[in-house]
């Protein structure tokens, strides 16, 4: 089993509900074990700013799936939850990103791990720190909390009640 981290986000429809369903779908087949899930964070859009705020979370999972199989599972879950093609960084019903896959570094076409924007995004780092406060970036050897401390100086996501 490989310890992995995934980021989840939504800014269309029942944002909190779809994140909860996505987490349940990840573990539904038994080949992924959901170990920890962060709270839900309301965050400003990144990339394209003229759209609704996102709700983001991070999950710690274990799986025997390969990184490629995990990506395929994530895309399958996105489609099942209503994700439709749209502009890069645009509005979406659900987004599931593989942030880290053990301590592996993967660069294989559409599969890049660690996630290439992992250390630039508060909406990823804040929930990731919640589930794994001592996590170290496998390429740089720097704790993700150190990246977060640098970025937080510009303002961070706000906490929202998961029930809302």
User: Using an 8 Å Cβ cutoff, are 128 and 135 in contact?
Assistant: yes
Q: Let me know if residue 23 belongs to a domain.
A: yes
CATH number at residue 55: 3.30.70.560
Catalytic site includes residue 108: no
Catalytic site includes residue 92: yes
> Cα separation of 146 and 155, whole Å?
15
Label the pairing between strands 95-101 and 106-108.
unpaired
Catalytic residue among 92, 103, 110, 134: 92
Q: Let me know if residue 148 belongs to a domain.
A: yes
Catalytic site includes residue 83: yes
> What pLDDT, in 10s, does the model give residues 46-78?
777 888 899 999 999 999 999 999 999 999 999
Catalytic residue among 73, 83, 121, 129: 83
Q: Let me know if residue 153 belongs to a domain.
A: yes
> What pLDDT, in 10s, does the model give residues 89-135?
667 899 999 999 999 999 999 899 998 888 878 888 989 999 999 99
Catalytic residue among 95, 108, 134, 143: 95
Q: Identify the burial level of 132 via C-beta atoms within 10 angstroms of its C-beta, where 0-12 means exposed, 13-18 middle and 19 or more buried.
A: buried
What is the per-residue pLDDT for 101? 97
Quote the number of domains for the chain. Answer: 1
Catalytic site includes residue 121: no
Mean pLDDT of the chain: 88
Range of the domain at 74: 2-159
SS3 63: strand
Which residue has 């303002």 as its token pair?
Answer: 155
Mean pLDDT of 149-154: 76
Q: Let me know if residue 164 belongs to a domain.
A: no
């Amino acid at each position: 089993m490989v310890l992995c981290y995934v980021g989840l986000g939504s800014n269309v429809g029942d944002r909190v509900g779809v994140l909860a369903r996505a987490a349940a779908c990840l573990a539904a087949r038994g080949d992924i074990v959901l170990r920890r899930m962060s709270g839900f964070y309301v965050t400003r859009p990144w990339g394209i700013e003229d759209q609704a705020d996102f709700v983001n979370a991070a999950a710690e999972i274990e799986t025997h799936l390969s990184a490629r199989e995990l990506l395929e599972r994530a895309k399958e879950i996105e489609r099942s939850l209503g994700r439709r093609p749209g502009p890069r960084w645009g509005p979406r019903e659900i987004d599931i990103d593989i942030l880290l896959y053990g301590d592996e570094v993967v660069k294989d076409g559409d599969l890049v791990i660690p996630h290439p924007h992992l250390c630039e995004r508060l909406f990823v780092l804040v929930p990731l720190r919640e589930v794994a406060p001592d996590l170290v970036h496998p390429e740089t050897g720097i704790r993700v909390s150190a990246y977060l401390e640098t970025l937080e100086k510009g303002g961070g996501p706000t906490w929202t009640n998961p029930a809302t």
